[in-house]
């Protein structure tokens, strides 16, 4: 018989508050067209993107995260001292160590929480949310701050016609805490490493250090391959998340997919046969693809504009580099 005392966590977990931060600089397609041979019409028809936000020197990964975290904490009604865990998903924090989560935890006054970074690309928020739910239900933390943050403008090759218009910067955050009822459903997540070359960094940091590339590494992708995978495979994952939560598309109020491309979003809506009453996040139009930040930023905007409301049932799904994915059903805070 085990002598280990069982954990004393909450029966369930929920999202208690959400916050977002978008850099002050708004970049229209016209700026992108200065470096690639394209048109505003082409960019909009291919992606739905009209503008994106790019960070200034002062709007660092940490600074944007702290702003978003502060809003999420205020929205949740807790104090920073109550936070027992800080999880940050990002691919654009350029220091290998220490984790940026530790700096953020200190700057928001969280005390001495568990703090760590994860790298799961555009699925990073879903990964962080799942880890936070586990921490709350196993009793290792009562409240967990989950942040998705990116400065993808630092990793954008403005001469690459396939990707120059896609990426934006920003941070989104949520507080996950205890619940008496299930408010975060089971997560359907996974990876397909055999497709890892479809979205990748052009060169390794080691190669850059040794002078191999002639310019700073950037993110590149095989657009058509990624599109096909997202449209056909991620709709299946989204359906599996609905099944795991024990609901159907008719039970949904909101759909918040990763804001990668509006054509992908439209295709998923069609494949899932979402009813007309379901509100669909389309933050990509004015924010671009912010990778790990895109889902919480879209969630924050829907609630702020009244397009979604507290208590709504939402399906969230992230997918991207790895290739990795994560989908779950949540109750909006």
Comparing C-alpha atoms, which of 167, 163, 175 is closest to residue 150?
167
As annotated, the active-site residues are 122, 258, 289
Residue with tokens 């703090």: 115
Cβ distance 326 to 167 under 8 Å? no
The torsion region of residue 325 among left (phi > 0), alpha (psi -120 to 50) and beta comes to beta
Rg (C-alpha) for the chain, rounded Å, is 19
Tokens at 92, concatenated: 């654009």
Cβ distance 247 to 240 under 8 Å? no
Cβ distance 329 to 187 under 8 Å? no
Cβ distance 17 to 142 under 8 Å? no
Comparing C-alpha atoms, which of 152, 158, 151 is closest to residue 31?
158
Rounded to 5°, angle at Cα 70 from 69 and 71: 90
Rounded to 5°, angle at Cα 202 from 196 and 204: 90
- The count of residues in the chain is 333
The rounded distance, in Å, linking the Cα atoms of 136 and 156 is 36
- In what helix (H) or strand (E) does residue 30 lie, and over which residues does it extend? helix 29-32
3-state secondary structure at position 18: strand
Comparing C-alpha atoms, which of 166, 168, 272 is closest to residue 226?
166
**Cβ neighbours for 228, distance < 8 A, ≥ 6 positions apart:** none
């Amino acid at each position: 018989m085990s002598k280990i005392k069982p954990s004393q966590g909450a029966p369930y977990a929920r999202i208690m508050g959400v916050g977002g931060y978008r850099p002050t600089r708004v970049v229209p397609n016209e700026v992108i067209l200065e470096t690639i041979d394209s048109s505003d019409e082409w960019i909009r028809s291919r992606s739905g993107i009209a503008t994106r936000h790019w960070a200034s020197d002062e709007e660092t990964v940490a600074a944007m995260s702290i702003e978003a975290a502060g809003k999420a904490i205020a929205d949740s009604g807790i104090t920073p001292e109550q936070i027992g865990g800080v999880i940050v998903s990002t691919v654009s924090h350029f220091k290998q160590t220490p984790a940026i989560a530790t700096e953020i935890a200190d700057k928001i006054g969280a005390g001495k929480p568990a703090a760590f970074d994860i790298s799961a690309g555009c699925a990073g928020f879903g990964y962080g949310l799942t880890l936070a739910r586990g921490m709350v239900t196993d009793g290792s933390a009562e409240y967990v701050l989950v942040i998705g943050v990116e400065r993808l403008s630092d990793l954008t090759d403005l001469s690459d016609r396939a990707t120059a218009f896609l990426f934006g910067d920003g941070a989104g955050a949520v507080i996950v805490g205890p619940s008496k009822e299930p408010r975060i459903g089971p997560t359907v997540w996974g990876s397909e490493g055999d497709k890892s070359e479809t979205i990748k960094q052009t060169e390794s940091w080691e190669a850059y250090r040794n002078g191999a590339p002639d310019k700073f590494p950037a993110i590149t992708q095989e657009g058509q391959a990624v599109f096909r995978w997202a449209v056909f495979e991620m709709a299946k994952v989204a359906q599996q998340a609905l099944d795991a939560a024990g609901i159907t598309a008719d039970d949904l109020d909101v759909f918040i997919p990763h804001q990668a491309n509006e054509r992908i979003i439209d295709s998923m809506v069609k494949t899932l046969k979402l009813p007309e009453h379901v509100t669909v996040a389309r933050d990509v139009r004015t924010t671009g693809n912010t990778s790990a930040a895109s889902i919480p930023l879209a969630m924050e905007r829907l609630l702020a504009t009244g397009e979604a409301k507290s208590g709504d049932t939402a399906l969230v799904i992230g997918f991207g580099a790895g290739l990795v994915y994560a989908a779950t059903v949540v109750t909006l805070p």
